[in-house]
Amino acid sequence: MSKLFTPLALRGLTLANRIVVSPMCQYSAQRGEATDWHMIHLGHLALSGAGMLCIEATAVEPDGRITPGDLGLWDDVTENALKPVLETIRRYSPIRVAMQISHAGRKASSHVPWEGGQLIPVSEGGWLPHAPSALPHKDDETPPLALDAAGLNRIREAFAATTRRAARLGIDAIEVHAAHGYLLHEFLSPVANQRTDEYGGSRENRMRFPLEIFDIVRAAFPADRPVGVRVSATDWVEGGWTPDDTVAFAHELKRRGADWIDVSSGGVSPLQKIPVEPAYQVPFARKVKQETGLTTIAVGLITDPLQANQIVDDGDADMIAMARAMLYDPRWPWHAAAQLGASVSAPPQYWRSQPREQKALFGDITIGQR
């Protein structure tokens, strides 16, 4: 049996295999509300055969959106917009559904990527972002508003409220977004955090607010459902957050009951220098797993089934998260299972697509025909 296609238990949740559909921003919501695009997009990814599908970064408050098109979960309207999407997935797929909850921090109020992705000025319909310190992401941008005590408390309450709404929707797992230069990563990184209070300065102080948010989310979510965290293992910038910092953060998350750490990198500075190559972030996942024992997810240019299986088989990570490769090939888990001699779940409407030479791809099934 391929290790990639063995089950994995996370608290009361069992994944059928180790493949995760990564949270991928679609920038297609309206006022934070899911649209027909989310029904199509998440619906067809739910038929991928992966063990878990993670809904894109979902803002905990309107000002926490990366773009005006970001998905949100902050009131009854945004909650109700997601209900039919999730009900449809449940009706046709056994896939486990997670949600990544997030606040964009100083990278908020941006144009969607296909319109350039730059900061939208307030004069053009944008809003002033909030951040740990009044430091812009790019030198030519308007500085964000530094969060004061009231602002920190507002964000704490927003994460708690979004988590409760996610639980009410039946979301199986939560991933707290503390990567890619968004708010919680901004607190962690000395590149973005120059506070002089208890939330800035030393590594311990810079970790304080992200750890508080994790504790708040964990307390607001049912105890039998898992909560993980996505991190950027390194800023790829001199003087920034490092892999050793990530290990220290992971130790604290494990002590607080985190169920996994999703190990990515970069995003906090346009000065980053990333040596992109296949599986370039896997060494970070390996380091965290070896030094903390925490369940890890590996991400980043993992596209080949043999490569993915080797990562899990070697113990470098416990799960593989697929993003762009899954957009390009939404049936990647089917093809990986066929190549590795495993089986996946598929809707009966698709059983006849099973190649003759892969009779066990969808398990022990019988197809009758008049």
Mean pLDDT, to the nearest integer, of 288-292? 98
Domain count, the chain: 1
Tell me which residue range forms the domain holding 61: 3-353
| pLDDT for residue 225 | 98
DSSP string, 304-321: -HHHHHHHHHTTS-SEEE
| pLDDT for residue 365 | 63
CATH number, domain of 257, equals 3.20.20.70
Q: How many CB atoms lie within 10 A of CB 271?
A: 12
DSSP string, 30-41: BTTB--HHHHHH
In a domain, 310, yes or no: yes
pLDDT above 80 (res 364):
no
| pLDDT for residue 354 | 84
Bridge partners of 119, per DSSP, are: 110
Compute the distance between CA of residue 86 and CA of residue 171 in angstroms, rounded to an integer.
Answer: 8
In a domain, 359, yes or no: no
Query: Each residue of 5-23: pLDDT tens digit?
Result: 999 999 999 999 999 999 9
In a domain, 52, yes or no: yes
In a domain, 366, yes or no: no
Query: Each residue of 204-230: pLDDT tens digit?
Result: 999 999 999 999 999 999 999 999 999
- Which residue numbers are catalytic? 182
Compute the distance between CA of residue 106 and CA of residue 96 in angstroms, rounded to an integer.
Answer: 32
pLDDT above 90 (res 231):
yes
pLDDT above 90 (res 173):
yes
Strand 227-232 to 173-178 pairing: parallel
Compute the distance between CA of residue 329 and CA of residue 334 in angstroms, rounded to an integer.
Answer: 10
In a domain, 188, yes or no: yes
pLDDT above 70 (res 348):
yes
User: How would residue 369 be classed by pLDDT, with cut points 50, 70 and 90?
Assistant: low
Compute the distance between CA of residue 102 and CA of residue 115 in angstroms, rounded to an integer.
Answer: 22
Helix axis angle for 332-340 and 305-313, nearest 10°, is 70
In a domain, 226, yes or no: yes
Place of tokens 């009044």: 134
User: How would residue 366 be classed by pLDDT, with cut points 50, 70 and 90?
Assistant: low
Compute the distance between CA of residue 226 and CA of residue 224 in angstroms, rounded to an integer.
Answer: 7
Query: Each residue of 65-115: pLDDT tens digit?
Result: 999 999 999 999 999 999 999 999 999 999 999 999 999 999 999 999 999
In a domain, 278, yes or no: yes
- Give, in order, the Cα–Cα distances in Å from 206 to each of 46, 130, 133, 356: 37, 16, 12, 56
pTM: 0.96
Compute the distance between CA of residue 150 and CA of residue 211 in angstroms, rounded to an integer.
Answer: 18
User: How would residue 134 be classed by pLDDT, with cut points 50, 70 and 90?
Assistant: very high
Mean pLDDT, to the nearest integer, of 150-154? 98
| pLDDT for residue 355 | 84
In a domain, 364, yes or no: no
Let me know: does 191 contact 271? Beta carbons within 8 Å.
Answer: no
Query: Each residue of 240-270: pLDDT tens digit?
Result: 999 999 999 999 999 999 999 999 999 999 9
What is the Rg, in whole angstroms, of the alpha carbon atoms belonging to the chain? Answer: 20
